[in-house]
Amino acid sequence: MISIRTYQVSIFCISLLMLASCKAEQQPVHFIIERNYDKRPANEKVTVLLDWNEVAKRTGAGKNGVEVMDLNFGKPVPVQIADQNGDGKPDHIVLDVTFDSNEPIFSYRIQASSSAYKLTTFSGETDNRLQIKYLAFLKKQDKKPDWPAAIIESTRQFYPDPYDIALYASNRWNYEYGFFLTGVWKEYKRTGKKAYKDYVRLWVDRFVLEDGKLDPKQYKPLEYKLDDILPGRLLIFLYEETKDPRYRAAADQLADHLLHQPKTSDGGYWHKEIYPYQMWLDGIYMGDIFSMQYAQAFDKPEFLDEAVHQIKLIAQHTTDPATGLLYHGWDESKNKVWAHPEKGTSPEFWGRAIGWYMMALVECLEYVPVDHPERKTLIGLLQQVSAAVAAQQDRQSGLWYQVVNKGNEPGNWIEASCSAMYIYTFAQGAHKGWLDKQYLTIAEKAFQSLLEQYVMTDDAGKLYLDQTVKIGTLNPKGSKGDYEYYITTERRINDYKGLASLLYAGIALNAPQP
């Protein structure tokens, strides 16, 4: 890391697996600012100095100035070009940065502008609590890299102790870390790398007590959060691997949670206790894949049948007949904040919500017996939503927008996690024969686009994925679920909802799946 109080910018193009490109002339430069201090306020204003010569060399700026974009919020950053020693030449780029949230990391893009710069004088200095890392884009290689290994090893380099995942919210029984570590487990089973199994087990063991109960400080069953079920997949994997009864007991605890989950009048799981009568697409992946896995592992077919019911029910309530896309959520009570007064659906088609549902369909089919009466129905749902999503692919980037069907509307932006989720679904579905082979071609091209446009490395070779939306909620206290809400929600770099999705996409494309 580079302290910016005594800042002398030096951009290094060191590769991850010799992938990072050092050919950056005339290209935008990306960098992050890390706020390495506690009590990070929102709306904090700071001044940051960058070395003019280094940035000019990397961006191609000469007589012209530069433009800087805050990528967390998609807004421009005020810039000055400063002559600090009085020789009539630029010395520093002075950024008037506002951190509009309490996030620990902000991502930026800097590039040459079309306008000539005007020199100003500046006598201040930068805050030495801030640290900057410059990032380099990847370059194409003749040999296809092992992307799952690259993603996992980068995480292990960032977080040698998995309990520290991630900087945004560590030490938690958290669905996104359970999501990522399930991908790590899949790679363990494919490669036999014991280090991957140990990494997963080390994380899980921090939350499972000696009596097999989940730590009550971390898991509160009476909150009935479907999000808390997803990491339970790791409990089943570990029980099957080790036969340690603690893992079975903890999995049983989560299964009991599902037996008591509040439901709508037609039997749909509420997303959480605090969101009565609401079903969200996210909840299918959070709860129902665990349910099917539990059914198979412990001969409990009623859990599989319940999961199939949930999958079909939310499709019934949220599918738009005109586009084939699915709305983010449905409220049986038709709340006045975001629910359609007749249908009860939320207003928009949010990319990641649809991605969760599509991944759930692919993963559930791993557990549904070939002679199950609903298997063809589930394959039909997968084919229907896949066709609808493929039709919304952005032709220029090859990826998908935050609000999937409104790529041409102002303020919308390409979102990394949903794009990776669709790639995984298309590739895995095609490999399994549930989708036409054309979807594999779509997935391969989209994956390459995602790598080229949104994946970078730092000088230590660690991997970064940018433009994952931080959250998408239908909590009526904070969200109208409308277009403005989704496009203005903060984005993150190296958010594990995005990195996990990228890992799954890499797994599906790395080799044909069994």
| DSSP type of residue 456 | E
Structure tokens at 175: 């669905």
**Of 457, 462, 422, residue with least CA distance to 442:** 422
> Among residues 282, 288, 331, 495, which one is catalytic?
282
Task: Please list, in sequence order, all residues whose beta carbon lies within 8 angstroms of the beta carbon of residue 426, skipping any fewer than 6 positions away.
Answer: 386, 390, 435, 439, 440, 442, 443, 446
User: Cβ-count burial of 25 within 10 angstroms (0-12 exposed, 13-18 middle, 19+ buried)?
Assistant: exposed
Distance separating the N- and C-terminal Cα atoms of the chain = 42
**Of 493, 505, 488, residue with least CA distance to 467:** 493
Backbone angles phi, psi at 243, to 5 degrees: 60, 20
**Of 186, 147, 185, 181, residue with least CA distance to 166:** 181
For residues 60 and 26, the answer to whether their CB atoms sit within 8 Å is yes
Is 142 tagged catalytic? no
The secondary structure of 159-200, three-state, reads CCCHHHCCCCCCCCCCHHHHHHHHHHHHHHHHHCCHHHHHHH
**Of 267, 255, 288, 280, residue with least CA distance to 367:** 288
Q: Which residue has the tokens 């994925």?
A: 465
For residues 348 and 398, the answer to whether their CB atoms sit within 8 Å is no
For residues 308 and 382, the answer to whether their CB atoms sit within 8 Å is no
| DSSP type of residue 418 | H
Q: Are strands 64-70 and 105-116 parallel, antiparallel or unpaired?
A: antiparallel
For residues 404 and 389, the answer to whether their CB atoms sit within 8 Å is yes
The secondary structure of 8-74, three-state, reads CCCCCCCCCCCCECCCCCCCCEEEEEEECCCCCCCCEEEEEEEEHHHHHHHHCCCCEEEEEEECCCC
| DSSP type of residue 285 | I
Q: Dump the DSSP string for 222-277.
A: GG--GGGTTTHHHHHHHHHHH--HHHHHHHHHHHHHHHT--B-TTSPBPS-TTSTT
C-alpha span between 229 and 224 (Å, rounded): 9
- Please report which residue ranges of 328-415 form alpha helices under DSSP H: 351-364, 375-390
Residue length, the chain?
Answer: 514
Structure tokens at 331: 């409220």
Residues labelled as active-site residues: 282
